[in-house]
Amino acid sequence: MTEMARKRRWERFVDRASGKALIVPMDHGLTFGPIPGLNRTDDVLRWLTPEVVTGVVLHKGYAERLGGVPGCGLMIHLNGALGWGDTPDVKHRVTSVEAALRLGADAVSVQTDFLPATASHNLRLVGEVVDEAHAYGVPVLAMVYDKSPVVEGALGRLRHVMRAMVELGIDVLKVTAPADLSNIPELIDGIQPHTPVLFAGGALVEEQALMELGSAVVRYGAGGMCVGRNVFQRANPRATMERLLQLLRAGMPALDFKRLASIGPAEMVR
């Protein structure tokens, strides 16, 4: 009964010109503290604009400090843990869907770090959040990370966890892209047609690598990107977002990165 409401709310996170989401998560402060790029609110507000960002992910307090970022989708992150705590991969609820809605949220998100010791906690958490959010017609994004130290079978393990999230009713997935981007079709097979899969930017990398990920998103038909540190930790975050947005809209292959980097704001396609 709430499917239409969830669909309408999720559309606020999607760029109409490309059909892709370009979301900036900034929930890092709870986990890592005042890291570069997120230390001063004024610095964030200088580049954060709906002209280049389709949505943001924020904890409730920082969402208020940023004024809710009018004009783009607002997603409130519901769980977390201190990075130096004794169980950093066990992310506990820190707020509710109802509290997120009071802030004007269009969606909510949860992070799940999967290890054998955390699997049961994560499944219970996601199941409860989905039931709560869907009762209000609110879509849920699950940030899914495989934290197993075992490299063998990693793609299959992640596919299993992604399918588990689908079974629990999640609306959108955020995952880390495989090291070999050509494995993306196998990773999202059977999921992307009904559940958008967004790829995380991860730790700060060369901008060329970020653009190659954007190209892969277009090439393989993924749902978009959810890029935090690779945006707000750059010298010019807005310029990076403009290039990513242009890439998603034009479907430009990575080999044209140098031409893309030369495009000025006035030439950006809206």
Which residues are marked as active site? 145, 174
Instruction: Give me the residues of the chain with pLDDT under 50, please.
Output: 252-261, 263-270
pLDDT in tens, 126-181: 999 999 999 999 999 999 999 999 888 999 999 999 999 999 999 999 999 999 99
At residue 151, the pLDDT reads 84
At residue 56, the pLDDT reads 98
The model carries a pTM of 0.91
At residue 96, the pLDDT reads 98
At residue 91, the pLDDT reads 97
Q: What is the CATH number of the domain that holds 149?
A: 3.20.20.70
What would the two tokens of residue 144 be?
Answer: 């899914």
At residue 85, the pLDDT reads 93
In whole angstroms, what is the distance from residue 124 CA to residue 66 CA? 31
At residue 1, the pLDDT reads 59
Angle subtended at Cα 254 by Cα 250 and Cα 256, rounded to the nearest 5 degrees: 70
At residue 260, the pLDDT reads 44
Which residue range forms the structural domain that includes residue 205? 3-267
At residue 163, the pLDDT reads 98
**String of DSSP letters for the chain:** --HHHHHHHHGGGB-TTTS-EEEEE--HHHHH-S-TTTS-HHHHHHH--TTT-SEEEE-HHHHHHTTT-TTSEEEEE-EE--TTSS-TT--EE-S-HHHHHHTT-SEEEEEEEE-TTTHHHHHHHHHHHHHHHHHTT--EEEEEEE--S--TTHHHHHHHHHHHHHHTT-SEEEEEPPSSGGGHHHHHTTTTTTS-EEEE--S---HHHHHHHHHHHHHHT--EEE-SHHHHTSS-HHHHHHHHHHHHHHT--GGGHHHHHT--GGG---
Number of domains in the chain: 1
